[in-house]
Amino acid sequence: MPCSRLTAAIFILALTATAPLVAQPATGTTPRLEVGLDVAMAGPDGGFDRMRPVVAPRVTLNVSPRTALVVSADVFTTKQTFAFDESWEDSHLLLAEVRRALVQTGRFAMSGLVGTGIGHRRRFQPEITYGGRTPIMQPAVLYEGAGPEFTLGVGVEQRVAPRLALRQEVRVILGKTSEFRAQAGVSVPVGRYPAHFDPVLTRTGRRPDSLRNGTTIGAVVGAAVMTGFVGFLAHSLCEGDCENLAAGLAIGAGYGAATGALTGAMIDSFIE
C-alpha cells in the first residue's frame, strides 16, 4: 500500500534524525530515546460499530523527566467494510505529539497527550445502477485525500523491567479521519530505565504545586463552553424543538469537562 510505505519511510527518517541525540547526556536518569510498537483499535468519529486494528511503531524523545516528543506512524490497518454494499474505507495517520507527565510515582506514570499530524483517507464506492425505464450506471469511484489532524488524549505507563515499559492510551483525533483510538503498546529504551521515575521538580528545585486548580478551572470552562455550543446548535438547527435536548446537553458538558480538565492540567503542569 503506497500510504503504508510513505508513513514507514517518514518514520524511519524521524528515527534517523533523532539518533544523534542519543549521544547527548540524558536529563536526570531518564533515557534520551525510546522505541516502541502500539496496537490500537480505531473507530470512525468515536463510534464502536466498525472498529479496526492499527499497528504503529513509535519513537519517543525524552526532553525532560516529564516531557517527551512522540512520533508514530500507521504501517498496518484493515479496511472498514459496510454491510449494505461492497464499499470500504481505510485511513493512516502520521502523528507528532507532546506527552506531559501529570502524575509520576514509583514505576507508574499518567500523562496527557496533545499533538498534530497528517491523515490519509481512502473510500471506495462500487458501481451502482439505478433502475427505471432507462437504467443509469454510476461507475466505481475511489475517493482519496489527505489533511491535518489534531489529537488530545491521556495515557498511563508502567515500567516492568529496566528495558521494558507497557503503555495504554486513549485519544480523540479530529481532522481528515476523525476517530477515537484505544491502544496498548511496549517501549524499549536506548539504555536502561532507572529503578523509579525521576522526581517531579520545578525549575527552582522544589516540588510543583498540585494540578487541582488547572484541572478544576479547565473542567468548568470546558463544560460551560460545550454546553453553550450544543445549545446554540439545537437552537439553530431545530429552533429549540430538539428531542432529547437534555441528554445532548449532558453529553456535551461531559465531553467539554473531560477535555477542559485534561487541557487545564497540562497547562498547569507547564507553569512551574
CA-to-CA distance for 30 and 189, rounded, in angstroms? 9
Cα separation, 37 vs 184, whole angstroms: 9
With cell 516529564, the residue in question is 66
The pLDDT of residue 1 is: 47
**Domains of the chain, earliest start first:** 2-189 (2.40.160.20), 212-270 (no CATH)
Report how far residue 40's alpha carbon sits from residue 52's, in angstroms, rounded to the nearest whole number: 8
In the chain, how long is the greatest CA-to-CA distance?
A: 82
List, in sequence order, every residue forming a beta bridge with 259; answer none if it has no partner: none
- Closest listed residue to residue 182, CA positions, set 174, 191, 171: 171
Residues of the chain with pLDDT under 70: 1-28, 44-49, 83-84, 132, 198-215, 218, 222, 225-226, 229-245, 248-249, 252, 255, 268-272
3-state secondary structure of 11: helix
Three-state DSSP at 40 gives strand
pLDDT digits (tens, 9 = 90+) for 13-45: 555 544 444 444 444 578 999 999 999 998 865
Q: What is the pLDDT of residues 140-177, one digit of tens each?
A: 888 888 999 999 989 999 999 999 999 999 898 988 88
**pTM for the full model?**
0.72
Distances (CA, A) of 59 to 56, 62, 94, 231, 262: 10, 10, 12, 42, 23
Query: Residue 201: what pLDDT?
Result: 56
The pairing of strands 80-81 and 76-77 is unpaired
